[in-house]
Structure 1
Amino acid sequence: MTELITPQGNYPVSAILFDKDGTLLQFISLWGSWGECFLTQFNRQLEQRGLRFPMQHLASLLGTVHDAEGRITDYDRNGPLAMGTMSDLYAILSWQGYLLGLSWAEAVVLVDSCRQAADAMLERSRPVRPLSGLVPFLEECAAQGIPLAVVTADETAAAESHLRWMGIRQYFTAVIGTDQVERGKPFPDMALLACQRLGVSPAEAAVIGDTNGDMRMAKAAGAAVAIGIAGGMTAGQAAGGSPAVAESRVTATADADGNGQADAGGPADTAGNVQTANAQSVRSLLPDADCVVSSYAELGVMI
């Protein structure tokens, strides 16, 4: 059996299951683009019907952080865009249209039109980029003959496209989207189906993901190890809010002593405290992970 090497120790595994968004590809590169297009279309179509969505609530719809120009710069790893299914996202937007006065049927048609526009934009621009160190790790796994699978909250057809766009589809024996199972994450269904397709026991499989939903899925399936990857997580994500606010909050905490006075330890001490605070915040978002790594460079495999 192959050994999966992690900073917290080695785990014997026969297969590795990967989440897709935020685990294989950079989340904002893909879903930031999609979300911006989707929300812009949603707001535009509401205005064409004489309705207006409160812009101050726009970010809360999908769990996104926006800059002054409305671009999505960050996201909540425990929010709908990160953890929900596509059906969840469509239901959220349809409900908002209904609350603003549309019939449910009108709201569903409007949201479907927005989805088509956002999907067409993705097909044209293909804004997908792999996480740092991913491809060498996949090549290492392939060289050792470790079967790999993708388990994603996205739909299978879309996931297949994204993997092809990145040029990594050939590494995976199976791609399991949420449309193939009755229950999505954090339930174990996708992991169990992936293991069945790979011909391995769940107890011999590792799961790598970027949300606690991935970690809980792994635990529910009885996986050998649940590994959280936090390489794309900003200080804002770690603290569960706006990056700028989170960084200032962490820095202020690091700079103050027990009496609220400035710490005289100097820049090096402050940087160390900030890093510790950020690491603790990252860990708090992945409480069910057996170990958390910042990049694939921290992982390896050997026979």
Structure 2
Amino acid sequence: MAIQAVLFDLDNTLVNRKKAFQNYAERFVDEFVLVVDSRNRVQVVEYIIQADRDGYRKKRELYEELLTEFTMKNPVTADTLVDYWFAEFFKHTVVMDGALELLEQLRSKEIKLGLITNGSVHSQNSKIDQVQLRSYFDAVIVSDEVQLKKPDPKIFELALERLGVTAASSIYIGDHPRNDVTGAKSAGLGTIWLRGAEEWDEALEKPNFMIRELNEIRKIVEELG
């Protein structure tokens, strides 16, 4: 069956979360953390990046740890730092190389586009709108908004319902082996794994395709019809 819909993950698929968090962490250190020299600053930034676990960690837990690990320039609370996160992180959002060109190409072929992302309503919607992605999509699903979360197949089924397409005629692209690939497979979609952000779990069933660059997707869609 010809491809009628292409669905995407957001973080580290359409937007470069790793690069965004690097920029945010540097800004955070300059704003809050007392450092002794440039070498110490680099070490503190790297610590924060590792402690964040690529976003798979509760923000309050992260900031409570940072308050115990580092000396702050001024007295602050975890609440203050969490508020700063929600106010500032989305401003550092960076689109992945080739993402806009790919979305334009797919839309020109009258293929329906969907976006499914885990995360808070404020954070994910702010990132989407910061880089003006929303207008490309026929359906945008944020996990906290619908009370479903990848890899639950129901969140993929909800997106298909909103797009008015079948799983067999749809393909999903994401960077996370379990949340994206396994989740989409369990809902019956074709799957494309974008390498680079996460290591593959060899215990999982392989995706239909593996890519390193988003521009590879166009050829895959053309080959599938």
User: Aligned letter for 1:297?
Assistant: N
TM-score (norm 1): 0.57
How many angstroms apart in 1 are the aligned matches of 2:31 and 2:143?
25
Q: Which residue in 2 is equivalent to 1:70? A: 44
User: Aligned letter for 1:177?
Assistant: V
Which of the numbers 1, 8, 14 marks the counterpart of 2:4?
14
Equivalent pair of 1:33/1:72 in contact (CA under 8 Å)? no
Q: Which residue in 2 is equivalent to 1:190? A: 155
Alpha-carbon distance, 1:16 to partner: 1.2
The 3-state SS of whatever aligns with 2:115 is strand
Q: Which residue in 2 is equivalent to 1:116? A: 83
The 3-state SS of whatever aligns with 1:164 is helix
Q: Which residue in 2 is equivalent to 1:222? A: 188
User: Aligned letter for 2:58?
Assistant: L
Alpha-carbon distance, 1:15 to partner: 0.9
The 3-state SS of whatever aligns with 1:296 is coil
Residue 289 (structure 1) aligned with residue 219 (structure 2)? no
Q: Which residue in 1 is equivalent to 2:168? A: 203
Q: Which residue in 2 is equivalent to 1:173? A: 138
With over 3 angstroms needed to count, the CA separation of the structure-2 counterparts of 1:155 and 1:295, relative to structure 1, is same
Alpha-carbon distance, 1:115 to partner: 1.6
Q: Which residue in 2 is equivalent to 1:81? A: 54
Listed as ranges, the gaps of 5+ residues in structure 2 are: 35-39, 69-76
Q: How does 1:191-270 map to 2 (within 5 A)?
A: 191-212=156-177, 213-223=179-189, 225-230=190-195, 232-233=196-197
Residues 139-183 of structure 1 deviation map (CA, whole Å, 9 limit, x = unaligned): 111101111111111223332221222122210112111113334
With over 3 angstroms needed to count, the CA separation of the structure-2 counterparts of 1:22 and 1:71, relative to structure 1, is same
Alpha-carbon distance, 1:116 to partner: 0.7
How many angstroms apart in 2 are the aligned matches of 1:90 and 1:74?
12
How many angstroms apart in 2 are the aligned matches of 1:202 and 1:159?
24
Query: Of the two, which has the highest radius of gyration?
Result: 1
Equivalent pair of 1:36/1:72 in contact (CA under 8 Å)? no
Between the two proteins, the alignment pairs up a number of residues equal to: 206
Equivalent pair of 1:42/1:111 in contact (CA under 8 Å)? no
With over 3 angstroms needed to count, the CA separation of the structure-2 counterparts of 1:67 and 1:176, relative to structure 1, is farther
Coordinate RMSD, CA, aligned: 3.6
